[in-house]
Amino acid sequence: MKTVNRLVFVCLFIFGAFSTSTAMACTTALWLGAETGTPVAGSPAAVSRVSGLCAMQLTAAGGSVTDNSPSVETTAIIRFYVFAQLASGTPVIFEAFSGNDGGGSSLITVTIDGSNFIFNAGSGPSAPVAGKSGWNLVELAWTGGANMEYWVNTDATSVGSQGSVAAAAGTMESVVLGAAGTLDGKLTFDDYESHRSTAVGGRHHGIRGFGCGRHVRWQANF
């Protein structure tokens, strides 16, 4: 393990020296890998959220954040929420790689065309999976050299997967959340969480990550 626990969209509380009031700011600073474009970590006034007080929004310039805490991972179960408001285009919104900072070979891509998701684990794309207007839950369970199951608006704790694709061989060293290229519209992300082997599930199952968008990432089995 490179790290055990990290936070995703983190609330920073700033206490005034002579006041009991607090101010809140959101940041992507604990995604310690490379950052591209102009991802904005927003408070309630800035973006719509699926939960908590923070989320990450991308507008026309796009942007992404990278996590290098995966360490020679052979399995991963990853869950996040995305709100797509796109007029056109099919951006990649999530990727996993065999090297740090998005280097090496691509192991996973998730794309969206505004309403449909497509999953690819290096051996060919899935059929389009319909999303819905507003927030969409996305979960995937990947095993390098075997397969990757996926869920959209259901989750791995409640029902069988909506499908699977063959997964190319490789071990995971980094993940990238966001869309590096320009966007015709905007994307908002929230509640990213990843495990090695236990299902993450949706928020209605009482998973970790309440309050200010805090999340356990790359934790041992539990």
Taking the domains of the chain in order of start, what are their residue ranges?
A: 10-219
pLDDT of residue 198: 84
Q: CA 67 → CA 77, 149, 184, distances in Å?
A: 15, 22, 26
* Range of weakest confidence among 50-54, 97-101, 118-122: 50-54
Q: Which CATH number fits domain 10-219: 3.40.980.10, 3.90.79.10, 2.60.120.560, 2.60.120.200?
A: 2.60.120.200
Rounded to whole angstroms, how far apart are CA atoms 62 and 76? 26
pLDDT of residue 1: 36
pLDDT at 218 over 80: no
Confidence band of 206 (pLDDT split at 50, 70, 90): very low
Rounded to whole angstroms, how far apart are CA atoms 193 and 61? 25
pLDDT single digits (tens) 103-147: 999 999 999 998 899 999 999 999 999 999 999 999 999 999 999
Nearest to 187 by CA among 140, 136, 141, 151: 136
Confidence band of 5 (pLDDT split at 50, 70, 90): very low
Confidence band of 42 (pLDDT split at 50, 70, 90): confident
pLDDT of residue 27: 85
Tally the residues of the chain.
222
Q: Higher-confidence residue: 32 or 140?
A: 140
pLDDT single digits (tens) 150-159: 999 998 888 8
pLDDT of residue 18: 29
Confidence band of 220 (pLDDT split at 50, 70, 90): very low
Which sign, positive or negative, has the C-alpha torsion 91, 97, 99, 104? negative
Nearest to 8 by CA among 166, 222, 207, 153: 207
HSE-up of residue 89 (Cα within 13 Å, Cβ side) = 18
The two tokens of residue 146 are 């075997």
Confidence band of 2 (pLDDT split at 50, 70, 90): very low
Q: CA 123 → CA 138, 145, 165, distances in Å?
A: 20, 10, 7
